[in-house]
């Protein structure tokens, strides 16, 4: 046991007592979740762009409406942004409802008389390609009477994602609706008031305290309900990755420099592998402690303490330890079987696919965490740690037998994988020369 603890301490120090570890602690969340913050940051940065658009209005009714709407929009943008595209009110949240980077576009309309014949279409398209125009619109004559049979055509190089197209669609749709109501002698104001949507507030469940008082239901935030479980799943993935990957590099280094032969002179393969696994588990607990403390501190400062999934923390630690043992043993087995990193990468592809599988269907699991797909998928041992935590973080009641069964199944699978990996490690740690075939590695695991 002393040898196992000595090896575990050495692996733990090699993992956490380095500058690379500190750098990875900082960089890993940025790589995994940085896109969410980058979108919000970039939403407030940019410049006000002027989009020159030619309008060919065969109906004779829509150009005036578009011109008035464009003038009002341009005035609002001038009031909110300076000439460099920066918000004039530094304390306002531009991304929270007002024009953002993609919306801060002024539309300069130019009327085109007559229909757009082929020659004119080619001429305007060339101007768009030469960036003399942003785009042009063709409004048919029967837009009010039959808009479905006579759609508005918008031409530009980015028409599929163009904010201008969406803005034009909204303005024309509202104008056509008002024109139809006027033709039917119906007051558009009355229709607008009657069409006001009914807001349905999403609340949690009420509960009774120990003193008999009833606690009020709290409002459920849609973004929190979606991204909190995803964050928990990504945290589990990061911890397993950061604790398992060093095992592969450690074994490869010891094999290539013949350190393993010296180590095996003092400890047997079981002790060596057990020490490495114990060190990786200790490193994963350290990573979890750092991240959990940081997340709780940020949640406390931002007033989101109530959303912090405290009840799932014990389950997180249990599934994390099992997940690290499961995948770290696979990394150790692969590292002992090969002599070069590029050979290990191809063999680890199926392992990575197992670890990343929940990421492909996480949104479906969040939407229905108690559905049959989510339930059965969370009971498959290789993906149980991430999937079960994903379900439990949604806030919905998961039957207690399911996480317990998940722990039991994952424990049995982990014991089996560790045993097979131990046999492979025992043979492969001293294997030199030709890289063994996959069939040979499987035979090592089955027969030793």
pLDDT in tens, 339-366: 777 777 778 888 888 888 888 888 889 8
Let me know whether 86 and 228 are in one domain.
no
Let me know whether 356 and 313 are in one domain.
yes
Evaluate if residue 98 carries a pLDDT over 60. no
Evaluate if residue 94 carries a pLDDT over 50. no
What does the pLDDT read at residue 127? 93
Q: What is the pLDDT of residues 144-164, one digit of tens each?
A: 777 667 788 999 998 888 889
Q: Is 326 a member of any domain?
A: yes
Q: Is 206 a member of any domain?
A: no
The mean per-residue pLDDT over the stretch 100-127 comes to 83
Q: For residues 423 and 299, what is the distance between their CA atoms, to the nearest angstrom?
A: 45
Q: How many CB atoms lie within 10 A of CB 230?
A: 18
Q: Is 196 a member of any domain?
A: no
87 pLDDT band (50/70/90 cuts)? Answer: low
272 pLDDT band (50/70/90 cuts)? Answer: confident
Let me know whether 51 and 30 are in one domain.
no
Q: For residues 245 and 21, what is the distance between their CA atoms, to the nearest angstrom?
A: 12
The number of domains in the chain is: 2
Q: What is the pLDDT of residues 225-245, one digit of tens each?
A: 777 888 888 889 889 988 888
What does the pLDDT read at residue 89? 62
Q: For residues 316 and 310, what is the distance between their CA atoms, to the nearest angstrom?
A: 10
What does the pLDDT read at residue 138? 92
Domain that holds residue 421: 2-35+222-447
Lowest-confidence region among 49-58, 198-207, 283-292: 198-207
Eight-class DSSP state of 437? P
Q: For residues 180 and 182, what is the distance between their CA atoms, to the nearest angstrom?
A: 5
Let me know whether 240 and 386 are in one domain.
yes
Q: What is the pLDDT of residues 122-135, one digit of tens each?
A: 999 999 999 999 99
The mean per-residue pLDDT over the stretch 310-322 comes to 90
Q: What is the pLDDT of residues 25-43, one digit of tens each?
A: 888 777 766 666 666 666 6
Let me know whether 240 and 343 are in one domain.
yes
Let me know whether 74 and 142 are in one domain.
yes
Q: What is the pLDDT of residues 403-413, one digit of tens each?
A: 999 999 999 99
Q: Is 42 a member of any domain?
A: no
Q: How many CB atoms lie within 10 A of CB 287?
A: 25
Evaluate if residue 90 carries a pLDDT over 60. no
Evaluate if residue 168 carries a pLDDT over 80. yes
Let me know whether 138 and 178 are in one domain.
yes
250 pLDDT band (50/70/90 cuts)? Answer: confident
pLDDT winner (highest mean) among 204-208, 326-330, 333-337, 427-431: 326-330
Q: Is 128 a member of any domain?
A: yes
What does the pLDDT read at residue 179? 85
What does the pLDDT read at residue 130? 93
Evaluate if residue 113 carries a pLDDT over 50. yes
Q: What share of the chain has pLDDT > 70, as a percent?
A: 89
Let me know whether 153 and 229 are in one domain.
no
Given a contact cutoff of 8 angstroms between Cβ atoms, the answer to whether 408 and 317 are in contact is: no
Mean pLDDT of the chain, nearest integer: 82
Q: How many CB atoms lie within 10 A of CB 360?
A: 9
Eight-class DSSP state of 81? B
Handedness of CA 180, 184, 190, 194 (dihedral sign): negative
The mean per-residue pLDDT over the stretch 67-93 comes to 74
Q: Is 212 a member of any domain?
A: no
Evaluate if residue 99 carries a pLDDT over 60. no
182 pLDDT band (50/70/90 cuts)? Answer: confident
Q: Where are the alpha helices (DSSP H) in 207-339?
A: 222-256, 259-263, 269-302, 313-337
Q: Is 198 a member of any domain?
A: no
The mean per-residue pLDDT over the stretch 43-54 comes to 77
Let me know whether 296 and 320 are in one domain.
yes
Let me know whether 273 and 359 are in one domain.
yes
CATH number, domain of 132, equals 3.40.190
Let me know whether 64 and 136 are in one domain.
yes
Tell which of 185, 211, 243 closes a domain. Answer: 185
In terms of pTM, does the model score above 0.75? no
Let me know whether 53 and 174 are in one domain.
yes
**Pick from 389, 339, 383, 335: nearest CA to 358:** 383
Q: Is 195 a member of any domain?
A: no
């Amino acid at each position: 046991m002393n040898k196992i603890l000595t090896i575990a301490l050495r692996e733990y120090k090699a993992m956490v007592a380095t500058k690379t570890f500190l750098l990875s602690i900082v960089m890993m969340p940025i790589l995994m979740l940085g896109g969410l913050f980058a979108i919000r940051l970039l939403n407030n940065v940019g410049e006000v762009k002027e989009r020159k658009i030619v309008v060919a209005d065969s109906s004779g009714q829509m150009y005036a409406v578009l011109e008035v709407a464009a003038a009002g929009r341009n005035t609002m943008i001038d009031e909110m942004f300076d000439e460099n595209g920066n918000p004039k009110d530094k304390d306002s949240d531009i991304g929270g409802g007002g024009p953002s980077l993609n919306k801060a576009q002024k539309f300069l309309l130019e009327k085109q008389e007559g229909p757009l014949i082929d020659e004119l279409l080619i001429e305007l398209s060339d101007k768009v390609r030469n960036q003399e125009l942003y785009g042009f619109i063709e409004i048919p004559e029967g837009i009010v009477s039959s808009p479905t049979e006579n759609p508005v055509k918008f031409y530009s190089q980015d028409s599929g994602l163009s904010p201008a197209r969406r803005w034009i669609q909204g303005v024309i749709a509202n104008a056509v609706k008002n024109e139809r109501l006027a033709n039917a002698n119906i007051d558009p104001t009355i229709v607008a008031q009657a069409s006001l949507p009914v807001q349905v507030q999403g609340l949690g469940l009420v509960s009774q305290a120990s003193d008999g008082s009833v606690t009020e239901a709290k409002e459920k935030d849609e973004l929190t309900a979606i991204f909190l479980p995803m964050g928990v799943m990504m945290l589990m993935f990061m911890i397993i990755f950061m604790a398992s990957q060093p095992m592969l590099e450690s074994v490869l280094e010891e094999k290539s420099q013949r350190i393993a032969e010296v180590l095996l002179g003092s400890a047997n393969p079981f002790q060596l592998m057990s020490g490495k696994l114990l060190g990786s588990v200790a490193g994963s607990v350290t990573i979890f402690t750092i991240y959990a403390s940081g997340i709780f501190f940020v949640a406390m400062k931002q007033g989101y303490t109530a959303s912090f999934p405290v009840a799932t923390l014990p389950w997180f630690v249990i599934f994390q330890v099992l997940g690290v043992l499961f995948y770290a043993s696979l990394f150790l087995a692969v590292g002992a079987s090969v002599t070069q990193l590029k050979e290990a990468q191809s063999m680890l592809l199926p392992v990575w696919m197992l670890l990343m599988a929940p990421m492909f269907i996480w949104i479906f699991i969040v939407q229905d965490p108690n559905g049959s797909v989510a339930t059965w998928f969370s009971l498959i041992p290789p993906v149980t740690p991430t999937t079960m935590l994903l379900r439990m973080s949604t806030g919905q009641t998961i039957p207690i037998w399911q996480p317990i069964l998940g722990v039991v199944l994952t424990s049995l699978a982990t014991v089996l994988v560790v045993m097979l990996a131990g046999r492979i490690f025992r043979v492969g740690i001293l294997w030199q020369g030709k890289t063994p075939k996959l069939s040979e590695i499987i035979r090592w695991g089955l027969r030793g």
